[in-house]
Chains A and B, each alone.
Chain A
Amino acid sequence: MLSSALRCLRPISSTLVLSRPLAHHMDPSVPRPVETTIRTKLSKALNPEHLEVINESHMHAVPPGSESHFKVLVVSPQFEGLSLLQRHRLVNETLKEELSTCIHALSIQAKTPQQWSSNPSLAKSPPCMGGSRHDHTMAEKLKAGRD
């Protein structure tokens, strides 16, 4: 009985999916100034073999379209011989301006080309616990991102 009920629901749910507008973070037409800046700066400074810049703001307690929470994966030979802390500091230094204005959280995966080729996977970020909802400094950061 359950399977027949599901069969009824399936066509309806697919219609709903088609008519729903794309979520902000998936819509290619929405401008992403902060994401673009991050990509540009990291590319210039670290000359990465592989770079992923992921806006994870939608996973957090901030309005849709925010550019406040990011995850970056940087694969660069410049990380050879550097400790995790040194690598992260390099990334932080590159994005110093953004981190002091609009970026609220930055998750970093910094790998050498060898590390990446032996394990080409991106660690998942921990689930939000709604901290930004109670954070009065967020409004300023979100505004800085938009300006």
Chain B
Amino acid sequence: MNSVFRSTARCLRSATWQYKTAHKNGELSVGRARLMCSSAGQKNLEEMVKKDKVVVFMKGTPAQPMCGFSNAVVQILRMHGVDNYASYNVLDDQDVRQGIKTFSNWPTIPQVFFNGEFVGGCDILLQMHQSGDLVEELQKLGIRSALLDQEKESK
């Protein structure tokens, strides 16, 4: 939580001159400060993670991952029959690469989002897969995991 406050404070410091002007004009409002905080880049990322049910920021593409950890995420999603997800190759865009780390306050790639909410990286997705939690979370998104059908067939 502290890091969220610190990054918010950094945001506010950089927008101080606008804030002071607003104060002088008597236009103090938290809403305005929040608007000043979010840059075009951050707003864009917010749209990106909310646009699709499953969003992955990775190195490379699902067809050609460029990193073992990103590949693991792709393979896990594939195992569950999740093929229709949005993926963004951070190697193509350094702004997105750095921006997403700041956005989710998470230092590494890959990053997985479900319904606009940050889920975690490769380790977390793998553990969710192993524990069965991933099937449940996909169900909440309205996605039926292919593993459920595999289980049915084997019975």
Name A residues whose Cβ lies closer than 8 Å to a Cβ of B. 60, 84-85, 88-89, 92-93, 96, 99-100, 103, 105-109, 123, 125-131, 134-135
Contact = CB atoms under 8 A, between A and B. Distances in A.
Contacts of A125: 68-69
A126 B124 CA distance: 13
Given A93-B3, A126-B69, A84 B127 contact: yes
B71 interface: yes
Interface stretch (B13-21, B47-55, B58-66, B77-85): B58-66
Interface residues of B, number: 27
A18 B144 CA distance: 55
12 contacts: A84-B127, A85-B119, A88-B121, A88-B124, A92-B106, A96-B107, A100-B107, A123-B123, A123-B126, A126-B69, A134-B66, A134-B91
A99 B105 CA distance: 12
B128 A84 contact: yes
A120 to B, nearest CB: 16
A106 B65 CA distance: 18
Interface in B90-149: 91, 105-108, 118-124, 126-128
The DSSP consensus for interface residues of chain A is mixed
Contact of A85 (B59, B60, B71, B124): B124
Identify which of B72, B118, B128 gathers the most chain A CB atoms within 10 Å of its CB: B72
Nearest to B128: A84
Contacts of B120: 84-85, 88
B67 interface: yes
B123 A126 contact: no
B68 A129 contact: yes
A96 B102 CA distance: 12
B96 to A, nearest CB: 14
Contact of A88 (B70, B72, B123): B123
Given A92-B106, A99-B107, A100-B107, A108 B123 contact: yes
Contacts of A129: 60, 65-68, 70-71
A92 B2 CA distance: 13
Contact of A127 (B68, B119, B123): B68
Nearest to A133: B66
A28 to B, nearest CB: 27
A60 B3 CA distance: 30
Contacts of B127: 84
